């Protein structure tokens, strides 16, 4: 069940940079039980509400290797997907695209990624699945799997661009407190 039936969920808190939870490496899910399925549903609900196209469990404070994603706009009908213990098993080519993140507020930048990836993982029933992806889906999967390893898209930027973002964020956070 890579594509879970979309049910109402609970809106979870999305942690934002520089919260240390975003730097924690997520642990593999050993048992896919009702708690894990509920978490995936809540993550999907949270992602749609944000709105975003992908979300990793550690972005909502759970150190479990779970990602959810849906690239289809609401008006074209939802296409929710959940993947447990995802890993990139093959990658090729190169593409640079503009990325943003629900955990990195008010910032987007061009990031270099692999153009095509093959990802394997488990669906919500525990069955092994494999996805071949290119374009936006490939970028989204790489972005979310990075989160599970404690890596943010800004880590792919030059030191100067990261420093400028951190300075701007510090100023913004100072203003709001």
CA distance linking residue 177 with residue 28, whole number of Å: 37
Q: What is the pLDDT of residues 97-112, one digit of tens each?
A: 999 999 999 999 999 9
Instruction: Indicate which residues carry an active-site annotation.
Output: 144
Structural domains present in the chain: 20-176 (3.90.45.10)
**Could you please report the per-residue DSSP string of 104-129?**
EEEEEEEEEE-SEEEEEEE-TTS-EE
Residue with tokens 């999967």: 141
Q: Where are the beta strands (DSSP E) in the chain?
A: 54-56, 66-69, 81-92, 95-101, 104-113, 116-122, 128-134
Whole-prediction pTM? 0.93
pLDDT mean by block of 10 residues, the chain; 177 residues: 65 96 98 96 95 97 97 84 98 97 95 98 97 97 98 95 90 79
Q: What is the pLDDT of residues 140-173, one digit of tens each?
A: 999 999 999 999 999 999 999 999 998 998 888 8
* Burial of residue 34, with CB atoms counted within 10 A of its CB: 0-12 exposed, 13-18 middle, 19 or more buried: exposed
Instruction: Find out whether 26 and 57 touch, Cβ atoms under 8 Å.
Output: yes
């Amino acid at each position: 069940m890579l594509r879970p039936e979309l049910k109402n969920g609970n809106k979870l808190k999305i942690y934002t940079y520089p919260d240390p939870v975003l730097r924690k490496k997520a642990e593999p899910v050993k048992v896919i039980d009702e708690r894990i399925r509920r978490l995936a549903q809540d993550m999907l609900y949270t992602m749609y509400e944000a709105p975003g196209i992908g979300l990793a469990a550690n972005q909502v404070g759970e150190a479990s290797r779970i990602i959810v994603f849906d690239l289809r706009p609401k008006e074209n009908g939802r296409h929710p997907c959940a993947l447990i213990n995802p890993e990139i098993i093959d990658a090729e080519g190169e593409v640079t695209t503009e990325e943003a993140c629900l955990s990195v507020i008010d910032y987007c930048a061009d990031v270099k990624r692999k153009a095509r990836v093959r990802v394997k993982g488990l669906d919500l029933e525990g069955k092994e699945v494999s996805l071949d992806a290119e374009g936006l889906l490939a970028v989204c999967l790489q972005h979310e799997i990075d989160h599970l390893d404690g890596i943010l898209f800004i880590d792919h930027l030059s030191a100067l661009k990261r420093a400028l973002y951190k300075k701007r964020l510090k100023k913004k956070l100072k203003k709001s407190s």
